[in-house]
């Protein structure tokens, strides 16, 4: 049995680690949301750093947890922005890997899809960004009306703004 197969067996054989990883990922996402609501820069930074630490632990427990990868991306990205690192190719590449992994694991994650579109726009690839926005809308249309991750009218309006020529 090769190394990838061993890792797969370990991940599937340990449901407790998967549950713990999901709990940590949810806590990391909560930190990401809380940080957005804070106004004090140091409090924001501390909240995002805690979120990044929780998300990194979640990924270490379960590399296949899409929420954990998205939380790493979100918290790390916010930290870079707070530290004054602009949207340059090096800083964007630092966060891109976790975002791409989140989408690989869960292509129906609208939040990851929209953030990926924004990242592509920052790289100057408007065509690819628009495709990601279209995929987000298509995914949203397939969701049940009670789905919590369903896009709001304001979010749809924002996406449609990005799709204008």
Domain boundaries in the chain?
1-85, 107-165
Q: Are 133 and 117 in contact (CB under 8 A)?
A: yes
- Residue 131's pLDDT is 95
On the question of pLDDT at 103 being above 60, the answer is: yes
Q: Are 74 and 57 in contact (CB under 8 A)?
A: no
List pLDDT tens digits, range 44-66: 999 999 999 999 999 999 999 99
On the question of pLDDT at 7 being above 60, the answer is: no
Among 72, 59, 52, 50, CA closest to 20: 59
**CATH architecture of structural domain 1-85:** Up-down Bundle (1.20)
List pLDDT tens digits, range 13-38: 589 999 999 999 999 999 999 999 99
Instruction: Describe the crossing of helices 41-61 and 66-82 by its angle, rounded to 10 degrees.
Output: 150
Q: Which long-range contacts (CB under 8 A, 24 or more apart) does 114-117 make?
A: 114/155, 114/159, 115/70, 115/73, 115/74, 117/162
């Amino acid at each position: 049995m090769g190394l990838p197969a061993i890792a797969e067996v370990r991940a599937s054989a340990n449901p407790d680690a998967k549950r713990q990883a999901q709990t940590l990922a949810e806590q990391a996402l909560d930190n990401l949301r809380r940080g957005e609501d804070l106004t004090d820069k140091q409090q924001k930074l501390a909240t995002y750093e805690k979120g990044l630490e929780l998300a990194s632990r979640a990924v270490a427990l379960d590399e296949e947890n899409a929420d954990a990868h998205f939380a790493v991306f979100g918290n790390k990205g916010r930290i870079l922005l707070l530290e004054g690192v602009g949207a340059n190719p090096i800083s964007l590449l630092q966060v891109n890997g976790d975002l791409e992994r989140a989408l690989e694991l869960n292509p129906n994650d609208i939040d990851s899809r929209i953030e990926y579109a924004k990242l592509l726009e920052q790289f100057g690839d408007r065509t690819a960004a628009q495709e990601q926005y279209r995929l987000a809308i298509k995914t949203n249309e397939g969701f049940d009306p009670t789905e919590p991750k369903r896009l709001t009218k304001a979010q749809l309006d924002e996406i449609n703004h990005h799709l204008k020529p």
